[in-house]
């Protein structure tokens, strides 16, 4: 297994070494949950855009922390506390290297990506936005990158606008120069849609935003687990992602930001560990990154995420991205065989490793229920992207999403299961 080069798919880098194919069977053996049987059948896990499964190395890292090192960080001089602090901050350094941050102090631990996005809205937004300022988002955003700005708009009178989505699931960028104006203070958008799978041209959008003096907030939840992501090469100002979608534990997320921006932002929450000193007359906050990390942090989760980064780095992000592209192309080839199936989103070369779809014969929740009886786990609903579903005039969709441990045989089982759904619901 090879360590991946640190670059992004749209970076223009054409000098990379050939990508080695994944040894999927070896990888699968390292994920204990994949040995489970559901309703007597082998588990086919195709809900990775919601959360990923965990390899043994991540599970062992969590167990090892609780069995051997459990202590609070930063506050003790005893051995356990010092060991816990070293592992906790070591995980931060691993994440920093993984996304090519300038330094670990730019990596802020949050509970999840939703909190990371909220930190930008509540801290940077409240400190910098006033009535009449303009924030641009897109129609394909997760609710976590819409609702905080709607809350702020109601409080401050800022204006929100949205880049619309074309019928093929790509952004309509013809009028981007009209949407980005001298009043635009921030452009927030997803690297990859969690519904239509579209991989957006991050560097192009970032350049357009910077030309008018706007900052860029990138939701990279569906990108960091699946492809090389280089924060410096992308040139964005803020980047958010979650640990549980990239083989790590739940309860840990990341906000990366430019150091000068983070230094100028007020603390997000008040409490222990985010202060330098406190008096009845006031307080002084700590330095980065701790001024944004009030209270006892998710220590075990951060250490687990560090182990996940080790695992992904060993496998190689280029290899993971290539394998998922091939598997998605295969799924897009097979799924139209199912009667009445409508695929949402663009062609395989423009999307990541997921496919959302509808069936004429059955509601997405019914699809998911029937597939579950066959041992197949998919997602059904609006995937926290209700405006995008409204754009396509549907209440919900079914979604199969892939990761490094999925196989063509599992796609075949999905297609076979969908044929059964159609048979069951066709009268």
Is there a single domain that holds both residue 250 and residue 116?
yes
Where does the pLDDT of residue 320 fall: very low under 50, low under 70, confident under 90, or very high at 90 and above?
A: very high
Rounded to whole angstroms, the Cα distance separating 382 from 388 reads 8
- One domain for residues 407 and 296: no
- 175 has a pLDDT exceeding 80: yes
**What is the number of domains present in the chain?**
2
Instruction: Say yes or no: 321 and 308 in one domain.
Output: no
- Bridge partners, 401 (sequence order): 47, 354
Question: Which phi and psi angles does 397 have, rounded to 5°?
Answer: -145, 160
Q: Are residues 68 and 50 in the same domain?
A: no
Whether the pLDDT of residue 5 is over 60: the answer is no
Is 6 contained in some domain?
no
Q: Does residue 11 form part of some domain?
A: no
Residue 4 lies in a domain: no
CATH number of domain containing 253: 3.40.640.10
Residue-wise pLDDT for 117-169, tens only, equals 999 999 999 999 999 999 999 999 999 999 999 999 999 999 999 999 999 99
Residue 1 — pLDDT band, cuts 50, 70, 90?
A: very low
Last residue of a domain, one of 313, 333, 360: 313
pLDDT range class, residue 276, cuts 50, 70, 90: low
The answer to whether 221 and 113 are in contact (CB under 8 A) is: yes
**Tens digits of residue pLDDT in 14-68:** 344 456 789 999 999 999 999 999 999 999 999 999 999 999 999 999 999 999 9
**Is 10 part of any domain?**
no
Q: 222 and 158 in one domain?
A: yes
138 with 252, same domain? yes
Q: Domain range holding 170?
A: 59-313
Q: What is the DSSP string of 365-413?
A: HHHHHHHHHTTEE-EEE-TT-HHHHHHTT-S-EEEEE--TT--HHHHHH
CB contact set of 391 (below 8 Å; sequence gap of 6+): 139, 164, 165
For 72-126, how does the pLDDT look when each residue is reduced to its tens digit (9 = 90+)?
998 778 999 999 999 999 999 999 999 999 999 999 999 999 999 999 999 999 9
Determine which one of 16, 103, 221, 384 is catalytic. Answer: 384
Whether the predicted pLDDT of 290 surpasses 80: no
The 3-state DSSP class for residue 289 equals coil
Exposure pattern of 325-351 as b/e (b: 16+ CB <10 Å)?
A: bbbbebbbebbeebeebebbbbebebb
Residue 175 in domain: yes
Domain check: are 207 and 70 in the same one?
Answer: yes
| Residue 267 counted as domain residue | yes
- Paired residues of 138 in beta bridges: 163
pTM of structure: 0.92
Q: Where among 275, 290, 313 does a domain terminate?
A: 313
Same domain, 214 and 186: yes
Asked if residue 120 and residue 43 are part of one domain, the reply reads no
pLDDT over 60 at 373, yes or no: yes
In a domain, 13, yes or no: no
113: its two tokens: 């990506």
Q: Of 273 and 315, which is predicted with more confidence?
A: 315
Residue 384 falls in the annotated catalytic set:
yes
In a domain, 372, yes or no: yes
DSSP line for 241-261? EESTTTTS-SS-EEEEE-HHH
How high is the pLDDT of residue 10?
52
Backbone phi and psi for residue 95, each to the nearest 5 degrees, phi listed first: -65, -40
Indicate if 323 and 265 belong to the same structural domain: no
CATH assignment of the domain containing 335: 3.90.1150.10
Domain boundary among 313, 333, 365: 313
Do residues 369 and 403 both lie within one domain? yes
In a shared domain, residues 132 and 215: yes
């Amino acid at each position: 297994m090879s360590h991946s080069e640190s670059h992004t798919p749209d970076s223009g880098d054409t000098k990379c070494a050939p990508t080695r194919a994944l040894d999927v069977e070896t990888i699968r053996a390292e994920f204990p949950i994949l040995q489970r049987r559901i309703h007597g059948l082998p588990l086919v896990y195709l809900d990775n855009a919601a959360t990923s499964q965990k390899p043994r190395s991540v599970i062992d890292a969590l167990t090892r922390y609780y069995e051997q090192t459990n202590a609070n960080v930063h506050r003790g001089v005893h051995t356990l506390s010092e060991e816990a602090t070293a592992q906790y901050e070591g995980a931060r350094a691993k994440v920093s290297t993984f996304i090519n941050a300038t330094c670990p102090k730019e990596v802020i631990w949050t509970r999840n990506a939703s909190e990371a996005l909220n930190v930008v809205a509540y801290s940077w937004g409240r400190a910098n936005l006033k009535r009449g300022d303009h924030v641009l988002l897109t129609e394909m955003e997760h609710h976590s990158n819409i609702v905080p700005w709607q809350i702020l708009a109601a409080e401050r009178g800022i204006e929100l606008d949205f880049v619309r989505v074309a019928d093929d699931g790509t952004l309509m960028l013809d009028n981007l120069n009209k949407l980005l104006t001298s009043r635009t203070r921030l452009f927030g958008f997803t690297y990859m849609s969690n519904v239509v799978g579209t991989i957006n041209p991050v560097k192009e959008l970032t350049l357009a935003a910077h030309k008018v003096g706007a900052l860029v907030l990138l939701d990279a939840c569906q990108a960091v687990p699946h492809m090389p992501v280089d924060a410096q090469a992308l040139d964005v100002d803020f980047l958010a992602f979650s640990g549980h979608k990239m083989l790590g534990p739940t309860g840990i997320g990341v906000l990366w930001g430019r150091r000068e921006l983070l230094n100028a932002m007020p603390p997000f929450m008040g409490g222990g560990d985010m202060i330098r000193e406190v008096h009845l007359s006031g307080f002084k906050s700590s330095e980065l990154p701790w001024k944004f990390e009030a209270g006892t942090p998710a220590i075990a989760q951060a250490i687990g995420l560090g182990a996940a980064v080790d695992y992904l780095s060993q496998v190689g992000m280029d290899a993971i991205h290539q394998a998922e592209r091939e598997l998605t192309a295969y799924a897009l080839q097979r799924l139209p065989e199912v009667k009445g199936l409508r695929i949402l989103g663009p062609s395989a070369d423009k999307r990541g490793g997921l496919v959302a779809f509808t069936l004429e014969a059955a509601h997405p929740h019914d699809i998911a229920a029937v597939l579950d009886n066959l041992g197949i786990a998919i997602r059904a609903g609006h995937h926290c992207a209700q405006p995008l579903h409204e754009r396509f005039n549907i209440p919900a969709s079914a979604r199969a999403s892939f990761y490094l441990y999925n196989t063509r045989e599992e796609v075949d089982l999905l297609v076979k299961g969908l044929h059964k759904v159609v048979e069951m619901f066709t009268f």
